[in-house]
Chains A and B, each alone.
Chain A
Amino acid sequence: MPDLHDLFDQSASAVRAARYWSTRTARLMIGVPDYETYVAHRQAKHPDQPIMTYVEFFRERQQARYAVGKGRFRGCC
């Protein structure tokens, strides 16, 4: 008989992983990439420069999604 605790832990972590990936996918669908990745990148490559807070990051991405002219076409056909 399988250990019920193990089974529970496994399914709980599977649910967590599903949630994590679906949240990331849903956010990128509306043009907001992963914030943690952005922070990690800034810390690793530009440690001397300021890092946007999540709200600043979100606003910057929102503005960029609709700042046309850089070939940002979406959702037509």
Chain B
Amino acid sequence: MSTFNNTSAPQMKLLWIAVALLGAVAFAIVALNRGEAVNAAWLVVAATCIYLIAYRFYGLFVANRALGVDGTRQTPAARHNDGLDYVPTNQYVLYGHHFAAIAGAGPLVGPVLAAQMGYLPGTLWILAGAVFGGAVQDMTVLFLSTRRDGRSLGDIVRAEMGPVAGTIAGVGILLICVIVLAVLALVVDKALIGSPWGTFAVFCSIPIALLMGVYSRFIRPGRVGEMSLLGCVLLLAALIYGKTVSETPSLAAYFDLSGETLALIIIGYGFVASVLPVWLLLAPRDYLSTFLKIGTIALLAIGIIIVRPDLQMPAVTKFIDGSGPVWAGSLFPFLFITIACGAVSGWHSLISSGTTPKMIENETQIAFIGYGAMLMESFVAIMAMIGASIIHPGVYFAMNSSAGLIGTTAEQAAQVISAWGFTVTPDDITQVAKDVGETSIMSRTGGAPTLAVGMAQILSSFLGGRTLMGIWYHFAILFEALFILTTVDAGTRVLRFMIQDLIGNVVPAFKETSSWTNNIIGSALSCALWGYFLYVGVIDPLGGIWTLWPLFGTANQMLAAIALTVCTVVLFKMKRERFAWVTIVPATWLVVCTTTAGLEKVLSPDPNVGFIGHALKYGDAIAAGQLLAPAKTLGEMSRIVFNDYIDATLAAVFVLVVVATVIYGLINIRRALGNPQPTASEIGLAGVTAGGGHA
């Protein structure tokens, strides 16, 4: 690290100049090339150089100058060292822990959806958003939490901005959890509809996890390595056998399910996983999906470097005007909402104030872990963008447009998509389905299947060739489904505890988390909450993702806006207002984006964008006694109207939460400016020698 930080040596200066030049050349090729296919390797080189320079010249500046990390200050890990929660941990090991905790479905799915506007707009936001927004947020929250004994974001808001702001943020976090779980479950649901192979493999992960659970509990207690290896081998066997299942009609029938059935199964599964003891189902699945996630990300990176595919998607498509078929809305603000976690993720602020701050050895490592892990996450998003952009654009749109737009046959789809300007033949579309072993790949919205096709193309061209494409495609689906379902399990439990806490304020007996009655009622309530939005998404006429993904993205970015507002307030309270622009700039941008997006989702008269506009359209049709597709009865029509109003309310509440937080932020900043003394409530004193000591 010390050599990396030291720019004074002339060799280092030359090295940084070389990195900057290489990055500039690669970036120019990616951004300025028109007409010719650009190789994905340039994108990788440009991104890597930008990350290196951003870390060295901006990340370290924010840490050392703006936040003022203090290498002599004792960290919570040293102060409360218990060998369990609070352990001073090697920074590289902790980096792995932190990255594994923040990496999830968001950076993989968001960029795939954003590719409808071409690869360039999304790529620019992934890079700029991470460097100036996401990484700054993750690092600053990690810093604040480290200075407060590893307290959670909610606690920090309460302590620094008052109990009312704390409660508002708490309600916001709860609602955000609901919509996040629903939309992620929807991604899995959409990927498995009518896919016996994928469904079989994903279903098999449940008995495999149970077996692993029993193994690590009773047969060889605590042997994580053995049990994970066993799980991986069995999962691979299920994946290979899935092909046979899909080719045997009598077996395939059991796993060829509709979206509604899958939604009910996922909801039921979430309930069971939340009620069962963690060692039996949740923990083993979590281990399996964590290792699979890290392994697959590494494999994809190696694949892209070896194969160096050309990007087929144009740099910019005509859909930047907001007429795109994948998701509703124009470039501003919806592109910035769609990318979500690859650029800025509010969710990370919950993780950065979770387990990681309790293991930081020294404050000087906060930049490497907080800022660095987010840059890696952003790189995952760049790889997802590459995965979506190397497949035929016509196939991309066939996969990501709902049947209402492109019809249900390859001929219709090819005609419609060619008319959009992406020439494609019906054969192109059916050939991809045949290659990956599916009956159809049309209208497989949600991003996961598209990324799976991209990954299958990359991985099969250096491992196995065309014959293994089906295996790789379903491997990618399985990998995404596995860790999304793990999030659903864990998230349902988080929601359950939050609900128990909330209701417990009225009925104290409900707070007792070890009671089975409370456990079952709490789990049922939390499943019902996200399950409702999942089901609404599945029966949505426009395919669910089209309507709900922007709501998910808005929720996530709003949480980031809240976190960055808190960071700004604390910088003022620390009397570091000179440097507060490092969080004010991204916070302002996010507040502008999310409130614009939220208000458009509520108020836009365009029924494709605004929920109320959509409700009015269906309401008028009901009054006139007409039926609008896909509703088949007047009852279904009124259900769509009702759902629209629920979605509109949720979007409005998100906007209110952000506006309220910003107002409280401004009040606290004013108060801090009026006080000549620093007022941030930090724990521990500056100058106490770091490391060692024990309370």
User: Which residue of chain B is the closest to A69 with respect to CB atoms?
Assistant: B497
Q: Once bound together, how far apart are the Cα atoms of A77 and B373, in whole Å?
A: 13
**Is there contact, CB below 8 Å, between B104 and A71?**
no
**Is there contact, CB below 8 Å, between B283 and A62?**
yes
Interface residues on A, range: 35 or more
**Is there contact, CB below 8 Å, between B102 and A77?**
yes
User: Which residues on the B side are within 8 Å of A54 (C-beta)?
Assistant: 222
User: How distant is A19 from chain B, measured CB to nearest CB, in Å?
Assistant: 11
User: Which residue of chain A is the closest to B340 with respect to CB atoms?
Assistant: A77
Q: Once bound together, how far apart are the Cα atoms of A30 and B103, in whole Å?
A: 13
Within 8 A of B (CB), among A22-72: 23-34, 37-42, 45, 54-55, 57-66, 68-72
User: How distant is A1 from chain B, measured CB to nearest CB, in Å?
Assistant: 30
**Is there contact, CB below 8 Å, between A55 and B497?**
no
User: Which residues on the B side are within 8 Å of A5 (C-beta)?
Assistant: none
Would you mind naming 25 contact pairs between A and B with Cβ atoms under 8 Å apart? A23-B225, A25-B96, A26-B96, A28-B89, A30-B291, A33-B83, A33-B87, A37-B83, A40-B83, A45-B694, A55-B221, A58-B221, A58-B222, A59-B221, A62-B278, A62-B279, A62-B283, A65-B278, A66-B283, A72-B355, A75-B486, A76-B180, A76-B184, A76-B491, A77-B106
Q: Once bound together, how far apart are the Cα atoms of A3 and B94, in whole Å?
A: 37
Neighbour of A68 across the interface among B90, B104, B359, B494, CB < 8 A: B494
Within 8 A of A (CB), among B131-166: 151-155
User: Which residue of chain A is the closest to B513 with respect to CB atoms?
Assistant: A69
Query: Given that A29-B97, A29-B100, A41-B83 are contacting pairs, would A77 and B287 also be in contact in the complex, using a CB cutoff of 8 Å?
Result: no
Whether a CB of chain A sits under 8 angstroms from the CB of B290 is yes
User: Which residues on the B side are within 8 Å of A68 (C-beta)?
Assistant: 493-494, 496-497
**Is there contact, CB below 8 Å, between B351 and A73?**
yes
**Is there contact, CB below 8 Å, between A28 and B96?**
yes
Majority DSSP secondary structure for residues of B touching A: helix
User: Which residues on the B side are within 8 Å of A8 (C-beta)?
Assistant: none
User: Which residues on the B side are within 8 Å of A58 (C-beta)?
Assistant: 221-222, 224
Q: Once bound together, how far apart are the Cα atoms of A29 and B494, in whole Å?
A: 19
User: Which residues on the A side are within 8 Å of B533 (C-beta)?
Assistant: none
Q: Once bound together, how far apart are the Cα atoms of A77 and B294, in whole Å?
A: 14
User: How distant is A58 from chain B, measured CB to nearest CB, in Å?
Assistant: 4
B-side interface residues, number (CB < 8 Å): 67
User: How distant is A73 from chain B, measured CB to nearest CB, in Å?
Assistant: 4
Q: B193-201, B341-349, B614-622: which one contacts chain A?
A: B341-349
User: Which residues on the A side are within 8 Å of B219 (C-beta)?
Assistant: none
Sort A-B residue pairs by CB-CB distance and give the 3 closest, nearest first. Answer: A77-B106, A71-B152, A77-B341
**Is there contact, CB below 8 Å, between B290 and A61?**
no
User: How distant is B325 from chain A, measured CB to nearest CB, in Å?
Assistant: 24
User: Which residues on the B side are within 8 Å of A34 (C-beta)?
Assistant: 87, 89
**Is there contact, CB below 8 Å, between A66 and B490?**
yes
Query: Given that A28-B94, A29-B97, A62-B278 are contacting pairs, would A77 and B347 also be in contact in the complex, using a CB cutoff of 8 Å?
Result: yes
Whether a CB of chain A sits under 8 angstroms from the CB of B32 is no
Query: Given that A62-B278, A72-B355, A73-B350 are contacting pairs, would A27 and B89 also be in contact in the complex, using a CB cutoff of 8 Å?
Result: no
Q: Once bound together, how far apart are the Cα atoms of A16 and B279, in whole Å?
A: 30
Q: Once bound together, how far apart are the Cα atoms of A39 and B491, in whole Å?
A: 32
User: Which residue of chain B is the closest to A34 with respect to CB atoms?
Assistant: B87
**Is there contact, CB below 8 Å, between B283 and A65?**
yes
Neighbour of A77 across the interface among B282, B348, B496, CB < 8 A: B348
Whether a CB of chain A sits under 8 angstroms from the CB of B624 is no
User: Which residues on the B side are within 8 Å of A28 (C-beta)?
Assistant: 89, 93-94, 96-97
User: Which residues on the B side are within 8 Å of A59 (C-beta)?
Assistant: 221-222, 279
User: How distant is B233 from chain A, measured CB to nearest CB, in Å?
Assistant: 17
Query: Contact residues of A with B, CB < 8 Å?
Result: 21, 23-34, 37-42, 45, 54-55, 57-66, 68-77
User: How distant is B482 from chain A, measured CB to nearest CB, in Å?
Assistant: 11
User: Which residues on the A side are within 8 Å of B479 (C-beta)?
Assistant: none
**Is there contact, CB below 8 Å, between A60 and B354?**
no
Query: Given that A29-B96, A29-B100, A58-B221 are contacting pairs, would A73 and B494 also be in contact in the complex, using a CB cutoff of 8 Å?
Result: yes
**Is there contact, CB below 8 Å, between A21 and B93?**
yes
User: Which residues on the A side are within 8 Å of B151 (C-beta)?
Assistant: 71
**Is there contact, CB below 8 Å, between B487 and A75?**
yes
User: Which residues on the B side are within 8 Å of A25 (C-beta)?
Assistant: 92-93, 96-97
Query: Given that A71-B353, A76-B104 are contacting pairs, would A24 and B93 also be in contact in the complex, using a CB cutoff of 8 Å?
Result: yes
Whether a CB of chain A sits under 8 angstroms from the CB of B286 is yes
User: How distant is A64 from chain B, measured CB to nearest CB, in Å?
Assistant: 7
**Is there contact, CB below 8 Å, between A76 and B105?**
yes
User: How distant is B526 from chain A, measured CB to nearest CB, in Å?
Assistant: 11
Q: Once bound together, how far apart are the Cα atoms of A31 and B345, in whole Å?
A: 22
**Additional 6 contacts, C-beta under 8 A, given A23-B225, A58-B224:** A25-B96, A28-B93, A38-B84, A65-B278, A74-B490, A76-B345
User: Which residues on the B side are within 8 Å of A27 (C-beta)?
Assistant: 224
User: Which residues on the B side are within 8 Å of A75 (C-beta)?
Assistant: 100-104, 289-290, 293, 483, 486-487, 490
**Is there contact, CB below 8 Å, between B354 and A29?**
no
Q: Once bound together, how far apart are the Cα atoms of A42 and B221, in whole Å?
A: 22
User: How distant is B590 from chain A, measured CB to nearest CB, in Å?
Assistant: 14
Q: Once bound together, how far apart are the Cα atoms of A59 and B82, in whole Å?
A: 16
Q: Once bound together, how far apart are the Cα atoms of A28 and B351, in whole Å?
A: 15
Within 8 A of A (CB), among B268-292: 278-279, 282-283, 286-287, 289-291
User: Which residues on the A side are within 8 Å of B486 (C-beta)?
Assistant: 75
User: How distant is B481 from chain A, measured CB to nearest CB, in Å?
Assistant: 14
Whether a CB of chain A sits under 8 angstroms from the CB of B247 is no
Query: Given that A26-B291, A28-B97, A69-B497 are contacting pairs, would A74 and B351 also be in contact in the complex, using a CB cutoff of 8 Å?
Result: yes
Q: Once bound together, how far apart are the Cα atoms of A61 and B501, in whole Å?
A: 23
**Is there contact, CB below 8 Å, between B278 and A73?**
no
User: Which residues on the A side are within 8 Å of B153 (C-beta)?
Assistant: 71
Q: Once bound together, how far apart are the Cα atoms of A28 and B89, in whole Å?
A: 10
Query: Given that A73-B494, A75-B483, A75-B486 are contacting pairs, would A30 and B222 also be in contact in the complex, using a CB cutoff of 8 Å?
Result: no
User: Which residue of chain A is the closest to B107 with respect to CB atoms?
Assistant: A77
User: How distant is A30 from chain B, measured CB to nearest CB, in Å?
Assistant: 5
User: Which residue of chain A is the closest to B184 with respect to CB atoms?
Assistant: A76
Most buried by A among B493, B501, B556: B493
Whether a CB of chain A sits under 8 angstroms from the CB of B440 is no
Q: Once bound together, how far apart are the Cα atoms of A41 and B289, in whole Å?
A: 31
Query: Given that A21-B92, A21-B93, A66-B283 are contacting pairs, would A29 and B694 also be in contact in the complex, using a CB cutoff of 8 Å?
Result: no
User: How distant is A48 from chain B, measured CB to nearest CB, in Å?
Assistant: 15
Whether a CB of chain A sits under 8 angstroms from the CB of B81 is yes
**Is there contact, CB below 8 Å, between A66 and B493?**
yes
**Is there contact, CB below 8 Å, between A73 and B87?**
no
**Is there contact, CB below 8 Å, between B290 and A30?**
yes
User: Which residues on the A side are within 8 Å of B350 (C-beta)?
Assistant: 71, 73
User: Which residues on the B side are within 8 Å of A38 (C-beta)?
Assistant: 83-84, 87
**Is there contact, CB below 8 Å, between A55 and B222?**
yes
User: Which residue of chain B is the closest to A24 with respect to CB atoms?
Assistant: B93
User: How distant is A42 from chain B, measured CB to nearest CB, in Å?
Assistant: 6
User: Which residue of chain B is the closest to A45 with respect to CB atoms?
Assistant: B694
User: Which residues on the A side are within 8 Å of B321 (C-beta)?
Assistant: none
